[in-house]
Chains A and B, each alone.
With several copies, the nearest count.
Chain A
Amino acid sequence: MLEAQLEPYSRLRENLAARDRSLREKVMSLEEAAGLVQDGMKVGIGGSTMSRTPMALIWEIIRQRRQNLSCSRCIVSTDGDLLFGSGVSDHIITSWFAQGILWGLSKVMRHHVETQGKRYEEWSHMGVGMRLRAGGMGVPFLPMRAMLGSDVMRQRPEAKPIDCPFTGERLLLVPALNPDVALIHVQRCDAYGNAQIDGLQFMDIDLALAANKVILTTERIVSNDQIRRHPDQTKIAFLCVDAVVEVPYGAAPHECFGIYEPMLKHMDAYVKQVNADPVKGMQEYLEKYFYGPKNWNEYLELIGLEELLEASQRGRSIYND
C-alpha cells in the first residue's frame, strides 16, 4: 500500500520533465478535459465540502464511466456520494465524508463502505493538508503534531511516528500525496491556466503543485493581460496547468465564492432521494441529472433557472456592505 501511495522523487521529476510547461493555450471542451482522467488514476479534487467543487468535471467523468479512481479531497460532500454511487471510484481519501452537516450521515457513503467494500480512508484534515503540501514541495513527508495517540493514526500505517532528531519530541511524519491529476474549479483564469481564486482557497494551491496533471474549470476565461496587471493575485501558475475549460456554474449545485451560494433546494431533494434508497435513489438521480442531459447547460436547466438566479443573488451578496 505504501509503495502505491508514495511516488519516488525520480518518477515525480520525470513526470514533470515530460509535461509541456510552456506558455501556451490549453482551452478545451469538458469532454476532452475529462478524457485526461484515466481508469485507475489517483484523482485530487479541489475545493471543500460544498464549496468550489469541480462538479462539472466530476459530472463528465461519471458520464464517461471511468473506473477504479482513487479520489482525495480535504472534505467530501455529495461529490463523494456520486463518485461511489456511480461506480467510478472505489477509494476515497478524506477527513470527513457525508453530504453536509445539515443532513447528518450519508446513507450512500454508509451503503458503499459498510456493505460494498469500498474504502473511505480517513486522515485528519491537517493530515490531508500536510500530505498535499509535501507533495507540492517535492519532499516525501512533512512532520506534524496531530493524529498522534488517536485511532485515526493507528489505522494509518502509511504515517510514521518518530522521535524528533532535534528535540526528542514525538512527531508524526505523513507521506506526500501526489495525485495523477487534480480537478480544480476557479472563478477566473486565462487561456494559459493562470488562475485567480477569490475567498476561501482550501488546499487548492498545494493540490495544483502536488498533482502530476491539473485540469482547471473556470467560471470565465479572461485575457492574459488582465492576469498580468495583478500578478500577485495569481494563485495557480500556468506552468502547473494542463487543461482549461470554461464552465459557468461549474460547481453547481455547490457554491462558488462570490458568484453563487449552494443550491439548497436541489441539494435537499437530492439528499432525501438518495438517503431513502442509496442504490435506486442514486441510480435515478444519475439517470436524470448525469446520464440524461446532452450537455452541462441541460443539467443546469434541470436544476432550474430560478434556483440558479437565487443562488447567484446570495453568492454576490458577500460583496455587499
Chain B
Amino acid sequence: MTEASNYTASEILAILASRQLKDGQVVFAGVGTPLLAATLAQQLRCPGLTILFEGGVVGAFVEAGKLPPSTNDQRCTKRANMVLGSADVLLLLQRGYVDIGFMGGAQIDQFGNLNSSFIGDPAAPKTRLPGTGGGNDISSLTNMIVAMKHEKRRFVEKVDFITSPGFIRGGNSRRESGLPAGGMFRVITELAIFGFDETTRRMRVLALNPGVSREEVQDNTGFKLEFDANLHVTEPPTTRELQILRQLDPERLFTA
C-alpha cells in the first residue's frame, strides 16, 4: 500500500473509522462521517458489510457521488436490500441483530457518554442542540464506534447531559441502569484511537495517529487520559483509501 501524504482531518477521521469495521458485520450508521466510513469499508475491504440506516434501510449500498443529506432520504435506499419503518429498523437493534453502532458526536466524556442535547444547564441552556435522534437508542442497544472532531471543549470530564449513554458513571453503572448489552467500543478522532478500560470503563488511548504526540492528545482533552500499555502508531491512510473516499464524496460534503 502506498501511503498518502496529503489529507484533511475529516479524511483521516473517515479512513481510520472505516478500518474499525470487519467484513460480515451488521453496522447501524449515522449520516456524515459514519455513513461515509462504512461505505468506504464496504467498497474497499468488506463486501459483506451490512449497513443499516435510521430512516428504515437494511443492507444499503450508497452510490459514489450521491451521498444522502440525511439517513432519511431516498438516496439511502437505492439498491438496498430492504426498506422498512423507522421504528422497526430501531427494533432490530433492540432484538440484537446489530453488531456495531457507528455515530458522530458533539461532546463526549471519560466514560464515553455523548451529549447532543444541551450545552450548559439543561434547565436554562446556553445552547439547545438538535437532540438524540436515534443516537440514544443505538448507544443503549449495541457496541459503539464514535467518530468525532477532537477538541478540548468536546472531550470533557462529565458531559452536561447524557443524551446517548456510554458507560454512564463507569464500572457496572451501565448494566445497573438497565442496559445489559452493548457499550462504547472505540472513539476515533483526527488525533488518536481510544478504547475503554474493562473494569473502570474510562477512556484510554490505544493508538496515536501518524505524527501525533501523547502530549497533543492530552492537551486537546478535558480530562486525564490513560495510555494503553501497547500504545502504537496507526498506519497512515493509503492512496487507495483516499482515492475511494474522494470518489465517494467528490463534492466534499462531509470531508471538507
Give A contacts to B, CB under 8 Å. 9-10, 12-13, 15-17, 20-24, 48-51, 74-75, 94-98, 100-102, 105-106, 109-110, 113-114, 120, 122-127, 129-130, 132-133, 136-139, 144-152, 155, 161, 169-172, 192, 194, 199-203, 205-206, 209, 224, 227-229, 231-232, 234, 237-240, 255, 257-258, 261-262, 264, 315, 318
Contacts and interface: CB of A to CB of B under 8 A. Distances in A.
Interface stretch (B79-87, B201-209, B211-219): B79-87
Given A170-B178, A172-B178, A209 B95 contact: yes
B31 interface: yes
Nearest to A24: B48
Contacts of B95: 12, 16, 136-138, 209
Given A202-B86, A258-B74, A109 B91 contact: no
Interface in B121-151: 122, 125-137, 140-141
Given A13-B181, A124-B137, 11 more contacts: A17-B99, A22-B25, A23-B81, A96-B132, A102-B253, A124-B136, A145-B178, A146-B90, A147-B136, A232-B77, A234-B84
B177 to A, nearest CB: 3
A228 B61 CA distance: 10
A131 B78 CA distance: 29
A15 B96 CA distance: 9
Nearest to A135: B95
Pick from A129, A172, A203, A209 the residue with the most CB of B within 10 Å: A129
A152 B47 CA distance: 36
Interface stretch (B3-11, B157-165, B187-195, B239-247): B157-165
A171 B90 CA distance: 16
Nearest to A74: B86
A152 B163 contact: yes
Contact of A101 (B70, B86, B129, B131): B70
B73 A10 contact: no
B170 interface: no
Contacts, number: 273
B47 to A, nearest CB: 8
B97 A126 contact: no
Interface of B: 23-26, 31-32, 47-48, 50, 54-59, 61, 69-70, 72-87, 90-92, 94-97, 99, 117, 122, 125-137, 140-141, 161-165, 168, 173-174, 177-181, 253
Contacts of A147: 136-137, 140
B94 A139 contact: yes
Pick from A49, A172, A261 the residue with the most CB of B within 10 Å: A49
A81 to B, nearest CB: 12
